[in-house]
Chain A
């Protein structure tokens, strides 16, 4: 959220309108010298003239003066009532949410009781009891609107109170009053201010409605509702009389709502952009015919992905080439932001449309059509490939399954989507798959719901679904990161076993930040840093004798790789200083050089190329030969 700008650009125009709306009625004496209650019966229904810009009403009173002075009343009533409702409601909500227990019961129930009354009926009741007038109106509207504030404040405060920074304040011994007012309140101000503007608009309508019914402002004091009421009787002879207050009312509510909309956009950055789900279409820039080595299931050639406007686009990843082979597990390793997940999304044809493919060729071996160039495939063609020839499992098994459908239903659906067959046969295949991934009592689980399964079991179901159409390539994006160690070990063993036993030769692309897991499962390792491959080779070579300083540093910073070290013996891990650069702020030359212990002046001059250090091992470092292996 960008809070550093005092007023966002999009807020300027609505803010000016709102200020004009509020100031104009109160500037009435400057605009017109007429008294809004001074009657001049002979001039009744006089048309607009130089003295009376909007004409005169049924008693010959100046309409402009009445609109302006009436606006004073309407706006005062609306804003005072809304302010009282906001303050009282917010306080109720905050107290209920922060202190819980009896406070929660008292505050929320009180608000619930008020909500039970139809608003107009409640207003009528109070006005009948206490007599009409501006003060009564304010009281009625405050009572009517405080529950809305109480509920929003309660829900939001509950959410914010559960956040760690509030807990941290409590741990510091900060007094409750200070936490509520200084920490919780500012963080719920966004939704509350939106509710404030909405309520103010609603209050103006109710105020006018009550005045129209003769229960609001007492005549002859002016008010918009009364003007409508007065003009209604003569609307056939003099439509202008009813149009003017109606336009004033509409304009007021429109301006306030316009302001609300923009305010919501400004406070919620996600709302402003509009949720777009569009996918960017893969392209191909290679003139070469799509062909793959006979044992390869997919390949990425010279992939370059950029974001931002064409004039100042930023490379997210560049120069990435990968060949994924059947019966081989390739691990893509790197820290967050290194581009490992983007590479896999590009292969799935699932890049979000803010990211464009500028260069490269993506090839996939399809069961039906031989080698397919993703850049020459239509959106429908890509859809057919996904799930059928290429499948993916994700980090979060809790959100990857649809909670409202039975597991079996989801699996059968996945199978039938790509392979038409009788339902019974699909059911049997699904149960076989569940057994294959090690789910006991597969037939019973088939009729169960996802919430009945533990995280590890759900990940097994995800794997079973991914395998349901016998894909050539399985992409696993951090598939065990959310799981406990014992469960993680089981899922890794399952993936290893599947790869061994899978009849048609499965290529596995395993994305992970954990070198320990990678060393167990992967045949080849590809290390990425800041959007580029920095080292690639067979797992035992790369992990036992890394040649790139970054790979070495990664190994050095892992406690698991240094079981001889202990902090109490004054040992320290060989940490890498600094943080990975953002794509727009990479250093010149080698992107790793400002964190690299071996950097020399030449590293700043140009981006090093990915060179072979042996038949199977390549490294992107100009000093690769000098790296001595420990």
Chain B
């Protein structure tokens, strides 16, 4: 965002990741590639939104940048460290700076631990705010996420979904990270609670200058919270650019289809109808992976894999056609 830090906080280059599928022989495992040559960066203090349908690989990116899973090839540079090659001790130190908030507020908290224990685990691991400094820090965290400090001695089952999500955010913030992955962090919440959590994240960003990788399938939510938005389809980046521009003037046919499919309260947009079903990641189409559903596909689309090109208006897109949209 600012010119003070020329290096982005997080830089991902050529990221590839595949998973073994259920079907496997004795000697050979069938692999399903979920990420292909993903490039992205997140600047200091920036929120990057990651959107895509199920199976697009957005959660895999979130876990790969935190090294919660190993990658096949590519690099993830966080604050100057390639986190997939550094040794475990350095990584453990770096974990303080990068955190994650999960989707399911019920699965993300240990049912047997009090909130005090949940938040202390984070601080104990990194030897932060030990001894007498502990209690004030916990109270500060509870205030920061808008929870009553008396809740500290309670266990997760005593809380509603929204309150649990706040606890999950407090856990992530406890170690004062520079970067948070929010993986569908508001998707499981009711509308009124979702707005509270979005406002909370926006306030935190404004106050602490934290960077966020915001993963969601809800385009309106992503547009509201993100500075830039990246659209994924079948593990490939389709389009990246400033949030409002991506949302209101999409240039990639897939983005346009996504945006037009979104139920809106205001005036209806012209729907862009996609043909067929999402292709299987086991057997992705040649050339552009989106071509089988694209209403604008040409014969060339089957031949060339479109590169993510810089466009004059500052965005990037992976589509060979500039004469549409």
| B224 touching A559, Cβ below 8 Å | yes
The answer, yes or no, to whether A335 is at the interface (CB within 8 Å) is yes
- B155 in contact with A164 (CB, 8 Å): no
Q: Report chain A residues within 8 Å CB of B126.
A: 172-173
Find chain B residues with CB under 8 A from A181 CB: none
Also in contact, A172 and B198, with CB within 8 A (given A484-B53, A560-B264): no
Chain B interface: which of A50-58, A354-362, A574-582? A574-582
A576:B263 contact, CB within 8 angstroms: no
Residues of B within 8 Å of A513, CB to CB, are 190-191
Residue A170 interfacial (CB < 8 Å): yes
B112 on interface, CB distance cutoff 8 Å: yes
Within 8 A of A (CB), among B164-204: 168, 171, 175, 190-196, 198-199, 201-203
* In the complex, chain A residues 20-38 whose Cβ is within 8 Å of any chain B Cβ: none
B9 CB-CB contact with A under 8 Å: no
Residue pair A557, B191 in contact (C-beta under 8 Å): yes
Chain B, interface size category, equals: 35 or more
* A553 interfacial by beta-carbon distance below 8 Å: yes
Task: Kindly state the separation between the CA atoms of A561 and B265 in the bound complex, as whole angstroms.
Answer: 6
Which residues from chain B sit less than 8 Å from chain A, CB to CB? 47, 53-54, 63, 66, 68, 91-96, 98-100, 102-104, 107-113, 121-122, 125-126, 155, 157, 160-163, 168, 171, 175, 190-196, 198-199, 201-203, 205-206, 217-221, 223-225, 227, 243-244, 247-248, 257-258, 260-266, 268, 271, 274, 277-278
Chain B residue nearest to A488 in the complex (CB): B261
Contact across chains for B265 and A519 when beta carbons are under 8 A apart: yes
CB closest residue in chain B, given A338: B190
Known contacts A173-B95, A563-B220, then 18 further A-B pairs from the complex at CB < 8 Å, ordered by chain A residue: A168-B168, A171-B100, A172-B125, A172-B171, A173-B96, A183-B110, A454-B277, A484-B53, A486-B257, A557-B192, A557-B196, A558-B191, A558-B195, A558-B265, A561-B265, A563-B223, A563-B247, A567-B198
The answer for the CA separation of A174 and B121 in the assembled complex, in Å, is 8
List chain A residues, Cβ under 8 A from B218: 559
Q: Is the interface of A mostly helix, strand, loop or mixed?
A: helix
Q: Which residue of A lies closest to B186 (CB)?
A: A559
A19 to chain B, nearest CB (A): 25
A172 touches B262 (CB 8 A): no
A233 interfacial contact with B, CB 8 Å: no
Cβ of A414 within 8 Å of any chain B Cβ, yes or no, is no
> Which residues of chain B are within 8 angstroms of A457 by Cβ–Cβ distance?
277
Identify the closest chain B residue to A337 (Cβ).
Answer: B190
B192 touches A173 (CB 8 A): no
7 example contacts (A-B, Cβ-Cβ < 8 A) are as follows: A167-B68, A335-B193, A514-B263, A516-B262, A567-B201, A570-B206, A575-B195
In the complex the two chains form, is B53's CB within 8 Å of A486's CB? yes
Contact of A557 with B195 in the complex, beta carbons under 8 Å: yes
Interface of B is mostly: helix
A residues in contact with B201, CB < 8 Å:
567
**How distant is A586 from chain B, measured CB to nearest CB, in Å?**
15
In the assembled complex, which residues on chain B have CB atoms less than 8 Å from the CB atom of A487? 53
Cα distance, A43 to B238, chains bound together (Å): 96
Q: In this complex, which of B196, B199, B218, B263 has the most chain A Cβ atoms within 10 angstroms of its Cβ?
A: B263
Cα-based distance from A299 to B133 in the complex (angstroms) = 62
Set of chain A residues within 8 Å of B274, measured between Cβ atoms: 486
CA distance A580 to B278 in the complex (A): 38
B100: nearest residue on chain A (CB-CB)?
A171
Query: Which residue on A lies nearest to B201, using beta carbons?
Result: A567
A505 at the interface (CB under 8 A from B): no
Question: Beyond A335-B192, A489-B263, is A566–B224 a contact (Cβ under 8 Å)?
Answer: yes
- A3 proximity list for chain B (CB < 8 A): 111-112, 155
Cβ of B227 and Cβ of A555 under 8 Å apart?
Answer: no
Q: Is the CB of B121 within 8 A of A172?
A: yes
**Interface membership of A292, Cβ < 8 A:** no
